[in-house]
Structure 1
Amino acid sequence: MFKFHSIRSRLTVNFLAIIAAVMIITSLFLYNQLERFFVNNMLDSLTRTGIEAGESAAGLLRNPIDITLRLSAHADSVSRLAGARVIFVNSQMEVIADSVRVGGLLGQTLDREEIATALAGEVGSSVLVSELTGQRVVQVAVPILGEGSDVIGVVFLSGSLHELYGGDQMPGILGRLRNYLLLAMLLAAAVVGGGSVLLARRFTGPLEVLAKAARRMGEGKLDQQIVVSSRDEIGYLAEQLNIMAARLNYYTSSLKHFASNVSHELRTPLASLSLITKSMKDYDMEPEQRKEFLDDLDQELDRLIALVHDLLELTKLEEGIKRTVTFCLAELLSEMAAQLTPRFERQDVRLVTDLPPLPVWVDGSPLLIRQAVHNLLDNALNYTSAGGWIRISVWLEHRWTGVKIEDTGIGIPEKDLPNLFERFYRVEQARTREAGGTGLGLAIVKETILAHGGKIWVESKEGAGSAFYFTLPLHRSVNNN
């Protein structure tokens, strides 16, 4: 079973984890850098002290009289100055002076790696734990140079790092620093934790609004509109959700309206069919009367078939055009005009064409475009009186071609123009003229043009005729040229 985990809690935990990781890494880095700084600083200080002490000891070693006494006094002086133990060693690694008088190493051989390095002419150093005190110490061995730069002895210094590391009872500098860092981490964690909660709440607040709106939409309440308060991705998501809700609401309303219209359109012919069949069943009729009823029955069936056909056409158009070809629009219109001219002449209406001399290539379904133009011409012919005219013209504009079908008919009331292409919409004048049709012709024309990537609109003035316009994108090669 799905278990809900809020984004707010996950964001808070993630923020805390990231901040904690950064602080731990930063603290460890700072701790190690400070430790290295203090140790290196002590090494440098002891090395400088050893060099100065070695220069002084070199003069003392030239006079062997009371050398041990004089070097021991010098070792005491340097030890007090440097705060470290000072030992002088001759070239045979024998201790000839030690700042520690009682329990010192005077007279003993001090065989250490640092001293061996110093006897070779280099400064030797090390950081280790003393075997005697158990504390960390820094040890430096500096060569004492005689005349001719020969190594005649070594100054060995050993300084304690107790002040830096401390002991069990009293923490050193690094110990206190570690405690301060831990305290700072705890305080920062508290501050960052509170800030993370506030930040997560600020970030997830709009998402919760979106979630509530989406839940209400899922319950069928499609009139939801979210206030867009930001221009970031969440604001964009809210805007798109508003658009989706508006479209769903529109399509739902359209579907209800469409179902209502279909039921209304079906009710009349079905009622007529029911009345005709009951009349033929219940009453004895003369052959002529029966034929008249059968003709009425045939007309109502034709109307139903036409309605179903138009509904299927609309459904297909909404699914898009699956197969397209490149065809010449001007040639198609010219052929249609030639085929329809006799019919127009029988009704004393002139059909005029104004087509470009050059081919006009478009992509799409010539059959659907032919049907759309045929519907527009049928409408124009139905509402144009004898002696009038209908003109088909084509124009080119950049990447588009346009078709205009205008007539000298009765025109369309201004109040009907916005709804003219809606399904089952009929102008009142059209009903009074009993022009027939299913009320889907112009809706099919609109869907056909939209499916081809074009636009369609109408201009009309009541009593002064109408002009229908639609555009289609030109074929790609034509666009490139």
Structure 2
Amino acid sequence: MIKSLYVRVVLTYVAAVSVGLISSFLLSQFVVKSYGDQFIANLQEELTRDVAILEQGIRSNGIEQAGALLEHKGYAKKYDIMLYDSSRVMKVINGEGASDLFIISDQVVRFVLNGETYRGRDVSPSELVIGLPYEEAGSRYALFIQASEGSMSAITTKLLIFALVVNLLVGCVIIIIGAKYLVRPIRGMKAATEQLARGEFDINLEWSSRKDELGQLARRFNYMASQMQQLEGMRQTFVSNVSHEIQSPLTSISGFSKALRHNSLSEEDRVRYLSIIQQESERVSRLTENLLKLASLESQHHPFSPRMYDLDEQLRQVVVASEPLWSDKSIEWDMNLSRTKIKADEDQLNQVWMNLISNSIKFTPAGGQIRISIMKNIGSIEVRITDTGIGIPEEEQVKVFERFYKVDKSHTKSKSGSGLGLAIVKKIVSLHGGTVVLQSNPDTGITVIVTLPHVIS
């Protein structure tokens, strides 16, 4: 199977030329075979008729006036006149030189000198030459009139033009058919791009099964359309999630603000309502802050300042800073942190550890345990954070890194969060050339594995 568009184009051109030449040859042969004899016969009749006129004029005006007679009758380009004397020496009366078109043998010359008339058709139907016995001033001559090379060349030129026209027509037909086959997918892609411009992403180009460059382009186009369709879905989901995440706290703030207007509220209820308003305001603030942080990380202008620092000490400081979150839950810590130097953006990785450790604390029940360890490999550093929390279903573990994705689809406030923390974690780790994955523990809980390049300098 031909897998290259380049080869297809070349073969189409070769086929057009080859078929055109073969068709020209066959049609020319057919024309010559079908009409050649009739054409030669017509030329012989014309030559016989013209020779009778020329013979009469030559006998009346003399052999020396034969050239002028040809010019006067308009036969100069059609015929050549040759004269043989009794010694069979040729004298060209008209023409640049002796014509090689029809070779006149010595036997034929003697035949005409003996007073006989020679016609080429007696030897070959295609010989356009006539020999006449001629006497002048008591001398006997053999006068031959034959079709000139110019007239025969004109016939050959016409036949060649006919062959070229046939070749051109056949070649054009093949090129048109081939071009239609080659251009049709491109026209389809043009229409598909217009669909994309209108926001219609449900596109599937049917010729994607082709093995050539157009097939590859169609497959890439289908893939691009599917990705754009997914992006559009993600955009709509993003807008929906942002609207939900913002609308929920705003509704609470609005509702409790109205409730505070009632004078009948007790001081205890008033304080509780104000506390809820404050919490919801902080929730909106965290959401907008995370959205701005994620947008900044995804831009090409976000500052990235790697430097060498102690990774183990950074993890310890994050645990200490999180004490208000875990002290009331009596969480037990198991930290295996060997001294480790890493070259990275300290502020960004601090955000990663804060998000991951906060999640572990949030979903680990009272009296649970969280383990943090560092493992140094060749060319990489692996940080593991393992908790004994509620865990995440295996089918959900890849999706938790998507924006606003929550394992709890109800968006309840029992476990507050915007669903952006892990998306920020994955983006920061990716910017450092690392990876982050989740693993389910045998019993409960989850293990987060962050792998970062280990650059020694």
The Cα shift of 1:197 comes to 0.8
Corresponding residue of 2:175: 196
Query: Which residue, out of 374, 383, 388, partners 1:408?
Result: 388
Partner AA of 1:224 in structure 2: I
Alpha-carbon distance in structure 2 between the residues aligned to 1:433 and 1:271: 13
Aligned to 1:439, what secondary structure does the other structure show?
coil
- What is the aligned length? 338
Flag the 1:339–1:405 CA change in 2: closer, same or farther, 3 A: closer
2:438 alignment counterpart: 458
Residue type of the partner of 1:359? K
TM-score after normalising by structure 2 = 0.63
1:234 alignment partner in structure 2: 214
CA contact 1:413–1:461 (8 Å) conserved in 2: no
Contact 1:412–1:462 (CA under 8 A) maintained in structure 2: no
Q: 1:337 to 1:217 in 2, by over 3 A?
A: same
The AA in structure 1 aligned to 2:174 is G
1:250 aligns with 2:230: yes
- Asked if 1 retains the 8 angstrom alpha-carbon contact of 2:360 and 2:387, the reply is yes
Q: How does 1:70-109 map to 2 (within 5 A)?
A: none
Amino acid at match of 1:214: T
CA distance in 2, matches of 1:451, 1:283: 54
Correspondence for 2:94? 133
Partner of 2:370: 390
SS of the residue corresponding to residue 420 of structure 1 reads: helix
The CA deviation at 1:277 is 1.8
Structure 1 residue aligned with 2:405: 425
Q: How far 1:470 moved relative to its partner? A: 2.7
Farther off after superposition, 271-280 or 177-186: 177-186
Paired residue for 1:272?
252
- 1:429 to 1:350, Cα distance in 2 relative to 1, 3 A: farther
Over residues 301-333 of structure 1, what are the superposed CA-to-partner deviations in whole Å (9 max), with x where a residue is unaligned? 11111111111122122224633233347x134
Structure 1 residues 394, 224: closer, same or farther in 2, change over 3 A?
farther
Equivalent residues of 2:312, 2:338 under 8 A apart: no
Once the two structures are superposed, the pairs formed by residues 23-42 of structure 1 within 5 Å of their partners are none
Q: 2:275 — aligned with what? A: 295
Paired with 1:261 and 1:348, the residues of 2 have a C-alpha distance of: 34
Which amino acid is 1:196 matched to?
I
Closer, same or farther in 2 for the Cα pair 1:353/1:442, shift >3 Å? same
- CA gap of 1:474–1:165, structure 2 versus 1, over 3 A, is farther
Which protein has greater RCO, CA pairs closer than 8 Å, 6+ apart?
2
Give the TM-score, by structure 1 length.
0.60
Q: In structure 1, which of residues 456, 463, 472 is the aligned counterpart of residue 452 of structure 2?
A: 472
Letter in 2 for 1:332: L
CA contact (8 A) 1:321 1:451 kept: no
The answer to whether the Cα contact below 8 Å between 2:333 and 2:371 also exists between their aligned partners in 1 is: yes
SS of residue in 2 equivalent to 1:367: helix
CA contact (8 A) 2:312 2:339 kept: no
Aligned equivalents of 1:183, 1:399: Cα separation in 2: 76
Give the one of 320, 330, 341 matched to 1:359: 341
Deviation, 1:100, is 5.1
Q: Which residue of 2 aligns with 1:334?
A: 313
Q: In the alignment, which residue of structure 2 is the partner of 1:375?
A: 355
Shift of 1:243: 1.6
Distance 1:409 1:199 in 2: 66
1:445 corresponds to 2:445? no
| 2:135 aligned partner | none
Report the CA distance between 1:338 and its aligned residue.
3.4
1:171 aligns with 2:152: yes
Partner of 2:104: none
1: distance between equivalents of 2:435 and 2:182?
Answer: 42
Give the structure 2 partner of residue 36 of structure 1. Answer: none
Identity rate of aligned residues, in percent? 28
Please list every run of 5 or more consecutive structure 2 residues that lacks an aligned counterpart in the other structure: 1-8, 22-80, 100-144
Matched, 1:210 2:152: no
Asked whether the equivalents of residues 409 and 463 of structure 1 are also in contact (C-alpha less than 8 Å), the reply is no
Distance of aligned partners of 1:379 and 1:195 in 2 relative to their CA distance in 1, 3 Å threshold: same
Q: Does the residue aligned with 2:452 lie in a helix, a strand or coil?
A: strand
> What CA distance in whole angstroms lies between the structure 2 residues aligned with 1:358 and 1:333?
6
Distance 1:201 1:260 in 2: 46
RMSD: 3.9
Residues 276 and 293 of structure 1 are in contact (CA less than 8 Å); yes or no, is this contact kept in structure 2?
Answer: yes
